[in-house]
Amino acid sequence: MTLYKAQISQANACRLLLKSLLLMPVPGLVLCQQAIAAPERSPFSLTVARTSTATADVGANTGHELQRDAWKTRFSASMPLNRQWSIGANIGYDNLDYDWRINQATQLQLAEQDWSTVHQYSAGLSLTYRLDNHWMFLVAPQLKYAYADTASSSNAQSYGVVASSMYRFDSGNMLGFGVAYLNDISEVRTVPYLAVRWQIKDKLVLANPFQAGFSGPAGLELRYQYRPDIDFGIGSSKRTERLLVADDDQTIEIDEWVGFVRAGWKATDSLSLNAYAGYYFGGEIELSDPKVTEDIEDQAAFGLVFKLAF
């Protein structure tokens, strides 16, 4: 029983850590998700997400438009070594479709009309250590390839590592802090992040949002547990995507915020489904070389996330 409770506490802390990242979901942390409910019975998990946005104008008075669709898939596995240590691994593949409608030729748009499909492959490992009933520490290296159909995968590598700690109060509320280092395509980032899960009332929780594909992990979500199998959420989060569009280190980065509402259904102990409706705003798209930045019009977005634990 003591080991089981330790695994539950460790799993909850892992979940908060992976939800807090300011950049993309770090593959080295995704493996913590499947340990939430019953770690001894569900060492594996498969997550499939479908997202779609409305058509949005790109740039002021250009007539250029962009519509995006994405399929995102993650497979994760984890294993406790003993009461204090656990390891895990995961792999993922994303297929992103960028539907451009170009009316004028600028440097940014000339780059855009050459590509439409983006492939993203990711892999990660993690090692967690539970010091006592309050503290847990995690180290998670990651590897990722993100490239358009006009670039080579061999030039699209990025890698990084996350180091973090989580503290669990006697009340059950949790706070975490860490640093994410990412050597991305033609750019290096070091980003501190904060994780939180705070029980406001019996059915009301404030936490970091995380669902593959739609919201992105940075931000906050207020959740209401309507029934044991149904919950609702409302929140806002940050999304950043960076990819290679040409082999000479020419990249595109899309940076935006999203406000969303969510409805979740836990069909069984192993199967869950979440539906999202949201609004992307404050978006920018940047071409690295030559450096050109354009605004992206605010747009509606929708998503479905399917998860199977086994």
Does the structure show a pLDDT above 90 at 267? yes
By CB atoms closer than 10 A (0-12, 13-18, 19+), residue 158 is buried
pLDDT interval class at 21 (50, 70, 90): very low
Does the structure show a pLDDT above 90 at 61? no
DSSP for 234-286, written as a single string = EEEEEEEEEEEEETTTEEEEEEEEEEEEEEEEE-SSSEEEEEEEEEEEEEEEE
Domain ranges, ordered by start, for the chain: 2-309
Does the structure show a pLDDT above 90 at 109? no
- Would you say 304 and 49 are in contact if contact means Cβ atoms under 8 Å apart? yes
pLDDT digits (tens, 9 = 90+) for 137-164: 999 999 999 999 999 998 999 999 999 9
Residue 8, pLDDT score: 45
Q: Between β-strands 299-309 and 292-296, what pairing exists: parallel, antiparallel or unpaired?
A: unpaired
3-state secondary structure of 10: helix
Q: Nearest to residue 22, comparing CAs of 222, 237, 235, 221?
A: 237
Range from 2-6, 38-42, 47-51, 106-110 that averages highest in pLDDT: 47-51
- Would you say 23 and 180 are in contact if contact means Cβ atoms under 8 Å apart? yes
Does the structure show a pLDDT above 70 at 270? yes
Residue 155's CB: how many other CB atoms inside 10 A? Answer: 16
- What share of the chain in percent tops pLDDT 70? 81
Mean pLDDT, residues 285-289: 89
Class of domain 2-309: mainly beta
Q: What whole-number distance in Å separates Cα of residue 140 and Cα of residue 260?
A: 29
pLDDT digits (tens, 9 = 90+) for 207-254: 988 766 676 666 899 999 999 999 999 999 888 889 999 988 899 999
Residue 238's CB: how many other CB atoms inside 10 A? Answer: 17
3-state secondary structure of 76: strand
